[in-house]
Structure 1
Amino acid sequence: MQTIVYVPLDERPCNYRYPQYLASMTDLTLRVPDIGMLGRKKTSADTDAVRDWLLDASKDADALIVSVDMLVHGGIVPSRLHHRSEAECLDRLAVLKTLKERNPKLRTYAFNLITRVPAYSSSEEEPDYYADYGNELYTYGWLKDKAEQETLDAEEAAKLEAVTAKIPADVLDDFLTRRKTNAFVNAETMKLTRDGVIDFLIIPLDDNSKYGFSPLEQRKLSLLAEELDVNDRVMIYPGADEIGCTLFARAFCEAKGYVPKAFVRYSSVHGPFVVPKYEDRSLGESIKYQLTAAGAVSHDNSCGTDFVLMTNSPPVGQKEMAECSTPYGERNRAYFSETNTKEFVQAIRHYIREGHMVALADVAVSNGSDHPFMKLVARAGILHDIAAYAAWNTSGNTLGTVISHAIVESYYRGRGDVSAERLNRSRAYYYFRLIEDWGYQAIVRKDVIHNELPKLGASYYELDHVRSEVYAVIRRKLEQFFEQYVQEGCPGRVRIEDVHLPWSRMFEVGFETVLETE
């Protein structure tokens, strides 16, 4: 039995718990630090404690999955707020060399984000000044990058001059200095990969676009990867909070000598060519990156595959792509003409009846499930025959999550493993995904925000004073969702426990699912 040590990106369930759910379905042991040392949102983790724990936990481990953002800065949000020097960052990175020296057999899978630049003005997860100058900083980066790649027209040139004048010099200096430091850390992780300290490295693009600071840094890092001759061990693609799952799947595949074959099928012929919202490349290319990073290979057809990745894809991308909260009638007209969900549901049923293991990536809309589509799936009577599902936040978040589950599940199915305990954990996680991505993100969150919080004198960010009441409302509504849309045909009863809001806001939810069968 192999042991994997895991240092997550932060303490939220998507980073801390999801990989643990995956590990519980396997015979691998996953060691994680106590959640108490991982900080909370803008409060940095105790990086010294994390380092000390890592040194102890890795002494006899076989593999390490490590977030460099956590190791160096104390988490994803602290990585956007720090004032560390390059020398301080190098000092914190040095522990990876120490680990390799003490345990030469340790395979290290690392990831470190290219710092995001949101297009909106909010300091919720950014420096305080982002509330006043966030959009201007995004626009500044977008136009500066475009000017380097192409030519700005007169209107764009005037806009660049205007936003540059609006951003205070000290704000711009602070923002650019931190980005420079974070880019330096990414370059150093590539050098550690060259030196064999890191065996495989993912540099995810967190909320990016065609132009801007992120794509500019991506190009520089891509050139550096070629210069250092590490292109075979470094991947740069859209993602963030799913990478812990992706790297667990990769470590699992390498531990088992397993190369899963996946066939990808889309709901729209435009699907593979659409560039999803918050990303910089076509969905088809992103899926290839996601499969490869997780240790799988894309197959040309469904024959002989380990699983079929059914992808409910958007017919349009970028700003035209709908959010799960977009009223159905306000979606782009292409959602009604250039995607065929009825045929797609029929195809899912066909693959299941043919004996294929089906995983469903629901990325037609952002930040939750495509509710009308999922109702079709449920009414077709195939909801409980699907092996893995995801539909949360960005396309990249969803893809990495569903692919990693599909890889683990396909391995055991392919070997005839019928362990009741393992299967129960896999199905409990599947129902967890339905409850969170479809139930909470697509339905309950909006309902509670508009219809319940005002009654409690609370709002999206201001709810700590009625925390227990909000948690109770969310749990009740999630149970109602499950009863209405999922319970029929379920092999048992699903208990929803420990409902909470990790960052005291309505965006993400945490809970546990227990599948009770006779």
Structure 2
Amino acid sequence: MKSILTFIFLLLAANTNVLGNPVKEKLLLIPLDDRPPCLQFPIKLGEIVNMEIITPPKEILGNLHDAGNTDALASWIKRQPIEDVSGVILVADMLAYGGLVASRKYAINSESALARLKLIKFIKEKNPLIPIFVQSVIMRLAPTADGTNEEHRVKLAKWAATVDPAKKTALERGLPKAVTADYLAARNRNHQVNRQMIEWTSDGLIDYLVLSQDDAKPAGLHVTEKEHLAQQVKSYKLSDKVAIQAGTDEVAMLLLGRFVNRQKHLSPTVKVHYSSEAMRNEVMPFEDEILGETVNKMVKCAGGDLVDQGSSPDLHWYVYTSRYNEEETKSFITTIIQAIKKGQKLIVSDIDPIGNVQGGAKVFSEALIEKGTLSKLYGYASWNTAGNTLGTALPQGFLFHARQTAAAHDKMTSSNSSAHYWFTIHRMVNDYVYNNEVRAALKQAFGPKHTNATILSADKLEMADNIALDIIEPCLERIIRYNFTDQFQAHHLKFELPWKRAFEALIDFDLTKSSGKEMDHQEFLIP
């Protein structure tokens, strides 16, 4: 009897730390690139469920102008103790080409790209029980705006989106043959890689695959590619293992949500509420399928189930698309506040239906802040495309739901929600304050020719940092004060434009409790 008790004690000790909290699970992430949504966001989401996201050194992931070092990346992966991680999320575009931007250029052929991707087979054969989730991108219509190709970038995108043969031929005459040849070679190579990823899923090397459509329109070269991929998935009967959906930068977060739900044996049910039923059936900017279809696919991708309006779900997802409709906006804000008072577990996504702001709507965002709703949300996002916004808010909601479910059943689980609150606060700071307020200030400071894609000089980068910090710091304090009743304080605010443009910002801060007590998610009330 004594030996049995000793064994049980040692088993528990091996799975808990000295504070009585579970030892962190580890997950290996090979990201799309080093931009914050692809790297910072998944790492921070992992903290919500006490999971350590292991990632390669940033210096080998490349940037806007330089592809990631795929040889160094492969060597780094081989040095990792894969047997110690619970799962792998791998973006094929980083391993094959050196990242998303590099994937849009024809620097290597399909044979070389697939040779690099054989590392997936190497990992699976050595660790057959470790799930491998893979993302592979369906190339977007437009080349990257990198400051060197403005002469033909827009024309090329228009040509790629044109279906009429006569019009397409006319447009092609205005493009250098080398440009179109490089573009088509990259598209064909990427398509071959995507087809191979489906083959490897069928072979069991990949446990779940997302073929993500980068920025697109309802018509263009990508449509035929997607049709061929969908037919291949159907012929192999892989609809439960392969997703073809809109969006790109957010996919690692969706896969993280799926992984955690799988590990915890959860399949959270979700009821979706739209601020506009009409918008539900519209195609959002930079996408090629209606909003409702994107929402449905993301719930499935992240491991959840949709329920109809008459059911009692685990989570309610409020999708706001009415920033240009005052009546719908007021009604939706009221609905959200009433839902919180009823005890609903809410996820909120604020989508820009035109695409000219690509950040939180001012009236709606200010209402969420001033009404004190942020502390009650399970997930929130409002950045860039509909896919980006939806694919960030949903996994946060799923991860916090998993954490809350574990806390309810396991008294040893830490009750600290700080990581979740950090992510919600960060979303409002990044998605609304930066994308809406700071970007507008930068445009005013740098003149009418400035765009979010403009590459900034060292002097302008320093100026941008100062402008951003001056705006963000008081907003951050106000967000915390209105939503967390001064229970938290933010310290060490940092700001950087990592790719030397305003399109993405790296914002970071520390969040500490002002009082000594542990925070509970039910503690904060709507005033």
Structure-1-length-normalised TM-score: 0.87
Contact 2:352 2:385 in 1 (8 A): no
* Alignment of 1:434 onto 2:432: no
* Alignment of 1:511 onto 2:507: yes
Contact 2:56 2:73 in 1 (8 A): yes
1:300-332 deviations in Å (ceiling 9; x for gaps): 237532211111024xxxxxxxxxxxxx8xx5x
Structure 2: which amino acid aligns with 1:358?
A: L
Distance 1:15 1:284 in 2: 24
Q: Which residue of 2 aligns with 1:48?
A: 71
Q: Which residue of 2 aligns with 1:149?
A: none
* Alignment of 1:10 onto 2:3: no
Distance 2:307 2:394 in 1: 14
Picking from 264, 277, 284, the partner of 2:285 is 277
Distance 1:427 1:214 in 2: 39
Question: Residues 250 and 123 (structure 1 numbering): CA distance in 2 closer, same or farther, change over 3 Å?
Answer: closer
Contact 1:225 1:234 in 2 (8 A): yes
Q: Which residue of 1 aligns with 2:314?
A: 306
Structure 1: which amino acid aligns with 2:361?
A: D
The CA RMSD measured in Å over matched residues stands at: 2.4
Residues 232-271 of structure 1: pairs in structure 2 closer than 5 A: 232-271=240-279
Distance 1:135 1:467 in 2: 26
Question: Residues 382 and 123 (structure 1 numbering): CA distance in 2 closer, same or farther, change over 3 Å?
Answer: closer
Structure-2-length-normalised TM-score: 0.86
* Alignment of 1:286 onto 2:327: no
Q: Which residue of 1 aligns with 2:11?
A: none
Contact 1:60 1:103 in 2 (8 A): no
Question: Residues 139 and 72 (structure 1 numbering): CA distance in 2 closer, same or farther, change over 3 Å?
Answer: same
* Alignment of 1:102 onto 2:121: no
* Alignment of 1:178 onto 2:206: no
Question: Residues 286 and 381 (structure 1 numbering): CA distance in 2 closer, same or farther, change over 3 Å?
Answer: same
Q: Which residue of 1 aligns with 2:337?
A: 349
Q: Which residue of 2 aligns with 1:319?
A: none
Distance 2:338 2:229 in 1: 43
Distance 2:152 2:295 in 1: 34
Q: Residue 159 of structure 1 aligns to a residue in which SS?
A: helix
Question: Residues 486 and 2 (structure 1 numbering): CA distance in 2 closer, same or farther, change over 3 Å?
Answer: closer
* Alignment of 1:412 onto 2:406: no
Picking from 62, 69, 78, the partner of 2:93 is 69
Question: Offset at 1:486?
Answer: 5.5
Question: Residues 392 and 273 (structure 1 numbering): CA distance in 2 closer, same or farther, change over 3 Å?
Answer: same
Residues 446-485 of structure 1: pairs in structure 2 closer than 5 A: 446-451=440-445, 460-484=454-478
Contact 1:9 1:70 in 2 (8 A): yes
My pick for the range that moved more, 224-233 or 2-11, is 224-233
Q: Which residue of 2 aligns with 1:401?
A: 392
Q: Which residue of 2 aligns with 1:385?
A: 376
Structure 1: which amino acid aligns with 2:30?
A: V
1:97-149 deviations in Å (ceiling 9; x for gaps): 1111111112110001111112xxx75249x5x422223322322223xxxxx
1:212-237 deviations in Å (ceiling 9; x for gaps): 12222111111121223322211111
Picking from 42, 51, 62, the partner of 1:39 is 62
Contact 1:2 1:255 in 2 (8 A): no
Question: Offset at 1:171?
Answer: 1.8
Question: Residues 84 and 201 (structure 1 numbering): CA distance in 2 closer, same or farther, change over 3 Å?
Answer: same
Question: Residues 186 and 402 (structure 1 numbering): CA distance in 2 closer, same or farther, change over 3 Å?
Answer: same
Question: Offset at 1:472?
Answer: 2.6
Question: Residues 472 and 426 (structure 1 numbering): CA distance in 2 closer, same or farther, change over 3 Å?
Answer: same
Instruction: Say how many residue pairs are matched.
Output: 480
Q: Residue 81 of structure 1 aligns to a residue in which SS?
A: coil
Question: Residues 110 and 431 (structure 1 numbering): CA distance in 2 closer, same or farther, change over 3 Å?
Answer: same
Question: Residues 101 and 381 (structure 1 numbering): CA distance in 2 closer, same or farther, change over 3 Å?
Answer: closer
Distance 1:94 1:214 in 2: 25
Unaligned runs of 5+ in 2: 1-23, 516-527
Question: Offset at 1:462?
Answer: 2.1
Q: Residue 161 of structure 1 aligns to a residue in which SS?
A: helix
Question: Offset at 1:191?
Answer: 0.7
Question: Offset at 1:488?
Answer: 2.2
Distance 1:406 1:380 in 2: 20
Q: Residue 9 of structure 1 aligns to a residue in which SS?
A: coil
Distance 1:198 1:371 in 2: 42
Question: Residues 123 and 93 (structure 1 numbering): CA distance in 2 closer, same or farther, change over 3 Å?
Answer: closer
* Alignment of 1:124 onto 2:148: no
Contact 1:494 1:516 in 2 (8 A): yes
Contact 1:247 1:293 in 2 (8 A): yes
